[in-house]
Amino acid sequence: MNKINILNVSIDNLTQEELLLLLKEKGGVVVTPNVDHLIKLQKDPEFHHIYQEADYRVCDSQIVKIVSKWLGSPIREKISGSDLFPAFYTYFKDDPDTKIFLLGAAEGVAHKAQKNINSKLGRDMVIGSYSPSYGFEKNEAECQKIIEMINESGATVLAVGVGAPKQEKWISKYKNQLPNIKVFMAIGATLDFEAGNRPRSPEWMSKYGVEWAFRLMSEPKRLWKRYLVEDLPFFWLVFQQKLNLYQYKSPIGQLLKTAGLISSEQVEEILQEQAYQRHLRFGDLLARRGWVKPETVDFFAEQLPQLETAHPHQPLGQYLKKAALLNDDQITRILNYQRQTGMKFGEIAVLKGWVKQETIDWFLETVKAEHKVRSLEDKQKYGKPSMRAIAS
């Protein structure tokens, strides 16, 4: 799938028709990034990790679509949750295996949405609904009750509308306890629209990217801070991206996972533990469990960000040593074997079982990227690459 990167979020450049076909063939988790999400993702490592793990990230904002064109990589179609969900149940209206459970909204709203949808379709496609209590995500007993309801209902699709990032976090935490669910959709205020509890903005406002103004007028007390304060930095960050000045510091957990040093399950487990022990750093909890050495955590947290200002790049073995992934004896043995066989350093480290292939690939790609940036900066500054860049 073609992907568009905006503020370190990879958005799938799909049409709604393409997405529906993929959901029919493969199922998966759907999230819908908009301006508010993109801002929250800058500050919330858990939310960012969940976004990275989602199967589909589709544009839920005309503003984001316009920005993508300005950045030079236009998104083909806006697919908001409130458009996607009715398109989804209409697309699957004749499929008896598609059975939907609705979770979210205020008391009674999800049930009303259920009745409205089934009435439109002429059959009971929506087979269950539940409006949780305020703060339900922190009540494990209620969450387990919800899981039991969904599993007993026979649903194969779960649509969750409790607001971001709560809905995405709930799906991520409990999806493995819902074996019958093939499609998970985070749909925000869509249940209110389906129930007729709130009006949608006129189509022309959505087309020109001012749907937010309609929502602000509809719910000023709840939304004024989001739209008029919290989301404004989006435009400054996008301007930085346009000038290649935008920098996102990836969460330590995301870096270690991408480097093949921990699994997605381990990241999720530590994030959940950290939620109850906020005084402890992510890396501290990893090291305490013995999943990663403290020296490795320090390298990724402290030394890695300095790569771009480092001296001429060093051999791969030295980076792996700094990250506490190889020791001097292992490096010496690899070099001796390399002289005998002519194999690459990383190949031997993997062959010996000391480092994973994905870790080698990550280090090589990261170092390559950093020195490519330096070469470009030298060329812009001096008109040609520096000898340091050529030697690298």
What one-character-per-residue DSSP string does 237-304 give? HHHHHHTT-------HHHHHHHTTSS-HHHHHHHHHHHHH-TTS-HHHHHHHHTSS-HHHHHIIIIIG
The predicted pLDDT at position 275 comes to: 75
List b or e across 278-292, with b for residues whose CB sees 16 or more CB atoms inside 10 angstroms. eeeebbebbbeeebb
- CA–CA separation, 108 and 129 (whole Å): 9
* Peptide bond before residue 86 is cis, with ω within 30 degrees of 0: no
Using alpha carbons, select from 211, 194, 193 the residue that is nearest to residue 202.
Answer: 211
The predicted pLDDT at position 378 comes to: 43
3-class SS at 87?
Answer: helix
Which neighbouring-strand residues pair with 159? 102, 185
| Long-range contacts of the stretch 230-234 (C-beta < 8 A, 24+) | 230/36, 230/39, 231/35, 231/36, 231/39, 233/39, 234/7, 234/35, 234/38, 234/39
| Predicted confidence (pLDDT) at residue 134 exceeds the cutoff of 60 | yes
- Burial class (CB within 10 angstroms; exposed 0-12, middle 13-18, buried 19+) of 221: exposed
Identify the residue whose tokens are 């000898």.
Answer: 387
- CA–CA separation, 334 and 345 (whole Å): 7
C-alpha neighbours within 13 Å on the C-beta side of residue 373: 12
Q: How far is CA 172 from CA 100, 177, 187, 212, 268, in A?
A: 18, 10, 14, 27, 9
Q: What is the pLDDT of residues 159-214, one digit of tens each?
A: 999 999 999 999 999 999 999 999 999 999 999 999 998 888 888 887 778 888 88
Q: How far is CA 296 from CA 203, 257, 315, 339, in A?
A: 52, 13, 18, 28
Q: What is the pLDDT of residues 138-161, one digit of tens each?
A: 999 999 999 999 999 999 999 999
Angle at 165 between CA 137 and CA 163, to 5 degrees: 80
- CA–CA separation, 52 and 106 (whole Å): 29
- CA–CA separation, 175 and 361 (whole Å): 30
Q: What is the pLDDT of residues 14-40, one digit of tens each?
A: 999 999 999 999 999 999 999 999 999
pLDDT top residue among 210 and 240: 240
The predicted pLDDT at position 355 comes to: 95
3-class SS at 323?
Answer: coil
Which neighbouring-strand residues pair with 130? 103
| Predicted confidence (pLDDT) at residue 308 exceeds the cutoff of 70 | no
Q: What is the mean pLDDT of residues 216-229?
A: 87
Question: Mean pLDDT: which of 46-50, 179-183, 241-245 is highest?
Answer: 179-183
Other CB atoms within 10 Å distance of the CB of residue 264: 14
The DSSP output letter for 202 is P
Band of the pLDDT at 278, cuts 50, 70, 90?
confident
Contact between 320 and 355 (Cβ < 8 Å): yes
| Predicted confidence (pLDDT) at residue 312 exceeds the cutoff of 70 | no
| Predicted confidence (pLDDT) at residue 105 exceeds the cutoff of 50 | yes
Residues 6+ away with beta carbon under 8 Å from 256? 262, 267, 286, 292, 296, 297, 300
- CA–CA separation, 247 and 373 (whole Å): 13
Contact between 7 and 246 (Cβ < 8 Å): yes
Q: What percent of the chain lies above the pLDDT cut of 70?
A: 91
Q: What is the mean pLDDT of residues 59-82?
A: 95
